[in-house]
Amino acid sequence: MDYSIKYSVECLLGIERVILSSLITNNNTDKIEDCLKIIESKDFYYEQHGIVYETIIRLYNRDKKIDEHTVFLSNQQNINEQYYVDIIATTPLDTITDYLNQLKKYSYERQIKIVATKIKEGDFSKVNELQDIKEKLENIGNKKDLRQIDEKFEKLISSLDLNINKIKNKKIEYLYDQFIVKNDIIMFVARPGVGKSLMALALCNMLLDAGKIERIFYLDGDNSHITIKSRNIEFLKNKFGNKLNYFIELSDSDMHIIIKELKKKDLTDFLIVFDSIKNFIIGDRNSHKDVTELMNILKELRNNGASIVFLHHQNKLNKDFNSAFSGSSAFMEDVAIAYELKKNEDKQTYIFIPLKDRNNISNYIAFTYNQDNTLTKVDIDYAMETKEDIEIRELIVNFIKNQKDKPIYSEILKYIVDSGGYNKDKVNRIIQRGKDKHWRASRVLRENNKLVFELIDSQDNQDKLLEGDIK
């Protein structure tokens, strides 16, 4: 658009005089209301005309009479008499809307020239201001254009609005039942040395074996070549070939290239693992802004079809997850599910504890690790047993086994508490937890229909505790 001045000074002078004369004549408040919607005193090219306009508006706001005498007398120290006579001598008009729009357009054109000059001189902070003035100029007084803008807006909104046809048949898909959700972002968090990487790599092995995933990109920023060698990475690479792409000790530029190319791809049936996520932040992991930028990249990958798992660290000392969480809370904000990983050294079990579940679909889940880089799912109560829990359980088993008659609940409880000095509530929890796993309870008439206990066959018990692998 050509933003050159369209009106001569003489023409502009005439426009301003017509507007002011029409306002002064007959105390026309309707015209003043129109003016207030469109123009300001700074829009007048001639300073004197701006002063007269300000005087009129001040009288209007005070509910004072507006005529040629009142206007001049109320501000005669600032109003040039000759200019004012020229205004009064100008024929007023019944309708001045077009004149108001012309004055406003000229004012915007003048502002554009001023701002453009500043930009040319190096003040690039004015670029947005220039664009804003241009848009205002293009739309001022043009109701048709405004309607067109509204139509354009509605078309844009319609194109971005939720398409219910795309979601009506959507359902949650799992890579691992009730644990890893397909096409979403999952976080594993644990203290250093617990086994996050070991678990993640074993899951990758199992998911590829089960055909749950077609390809995995494992981005390892934590571990050394020696460490991953001990985890049979050579065997896994030979086993899966290009289905398992494992990246280690990448430069920032190489990482940037990989992410850039991934963002262009259809990533359906891809799993991308970030180990650990702190290595992929550009900036400070405690900065909400920096972390959010990284999480936005992960969301882009997810929106392209990828399933994403990222590993993250807890601080070592604080037991409270919320305060021990390393870095910004932005890590947690965009994940669908987050698990805390704990290892029970007594049982050599790995326990995933839900910390966040956007769709309320996850549960506690536990595994044992096998030397062939696979996991065996185990009963959660079995996995979480402490050394003391095991001692109590073994005492209960021996007590039941050595009784001539099937013991009742109170007999078991009293024996364990008295013999070992264990907490009564804890013994009770273990008795209840062991039902249908280590022992079963049934009611008999001998003891007035009280519960009596007997041991479960050892093979039955083993079958219950070891529940198999991927479903």
Sheet holding 374-378, edge to edge: 244-248, 215-220, 270-275, 307-313, 185-190, 337-344, 349-357, 365-370, 374-378, 466-468
Q: Do 236 and 325 belong together in one domain?
A: yes
CA distances from 259 to 181, 184, 298, 336 (A): 22, 17, 9, 21
CA distances from 47 to 15, 22, 38, 39 (A): 14, 18, 18, 14
Q: Do 213 and 300 belong together in one domain?
A: yes
Question: Domain for residue 244, yes or no?
Answer: yes
Number of structural domains the chain divides into: 3
Q: Do 205 and 137 belong together in one domain?
A: no
Give the residues across from 441 on adjacent strands. Answer: 453
Q: Do 347 and 255 belong together in one domain?
A: yes
Q: Do 76 and 27 belong together in one domain?
A: yes
Residue type, 383: A
Q: Which domain holds residue 71?
A: 9-148
pLDDT in tens, 176-232: 988 999 999 999 999 888 999 999 999 999 999 999 999 999 999 888 888 888 888
Single out the residue of 297, 304, 327 nearest to residue 314, CA to CA: 327
Q: Are 364 and 355 contacting, i.e. CB atoms less than 8 angstroms apart?
A: no
CA distances from 285 to 249, 250, 282 (A): 19, 19, 8
Between CA 467 and CA 52 the distance in angstroms is: 90
Report the pLDDT value the prediction gives residue 4, as an integer from 0 to 100. 42
Identify the CATH number of the domain in which residue 253 sits. Answer: 3.40.50.300
Question: Domain for residue 264, yes or no?
Answer: yes
Q: Do 261 and 340 belong together in one domain?
A: yes
> For the purposes of burial, counting CB atoms within 10 Å of the CB of 46, is it exposed (0-12), middle (13-18) or buried (19 or more)?
middle
Structure tokens at 77: 């120290």
Question: Domain for residue 423, yes or no?
Answer: yes
Cβ neighbour number for residue 49 with a 10 Å cutoff:
24
Q: Do 230 and 204 belong together in one domain?
A: yes
Dihedral sign computed on CA atoms, order 438, 443, 444, 447 = positive
Query: Which residue ranges in the chain fall short of pLDDT 70?
Result: 1-7, 26-28, 141-150, 315-327, 445-448, 458-471
Question: Domain for residue 169, yes or no?
Answer: no
CA distances from 435 to 177, 417, 419, 444 (A): 25, 19, 22, 17
Report the pLDDT value the prediction gives residue 127, as an integer from 0 to 100. 82
Q: Do 88 and 100 belong together in one domain?
A: yes
Report the pLDDT value the prediction gives residue 325, as an integer from 0 to 100. 53
Angle at 26 between CA 23 and CA 28, to 5 degrees: 50
Which stretch of DSSP H or E encloses residue 217? strand 215-220
Show which of 97, 131, 148 is a domain's final residue: 148
Q: Are 300 and 267 contacting, i.e. CB atoms less than 8 angstroms apart?
A: no
Q: Do 366 and 425 belong together in one domain?
A: no
3-state secondary structure 118-140: HHHCCCHHHHHHHHHHHHHHHHC
Find out whether the peptide bond into 276 is cis, omega within 30 degrees of 0.
Answer: yes
Question: Domain for residue 102, yes or no?
Answer: yes
Question: Domain for residue 157, yes or no?
Answer: no
If you ran DSSP here, which 8-state letter would residue 435 be given? B
CA distances from 220 to 120, 198, 269, 274, 279 (A): 49, 12, 20, 6, 9
Identify the CATH number of the domain in which residue 30 sits. Answer: 1.10.860.10
Show which of 109, 130, 148 is a domain's final residue: 148
Q: Do 437 and 461 belong together in one domain?
A: yes
Question: Domain for residue 141, yes or no?
Answer: yes
Q: Do 329 and 372 belong together in one domain?
A: yes
Q: Do 48 and 85 belong together in one domain?
A: yes
Show which of 350, 384, 418 is a domain's final residue: 384
pLDDT in tens, 247-288: 998 888 888 889 889 999 999 999 999 998 988 888 788 888
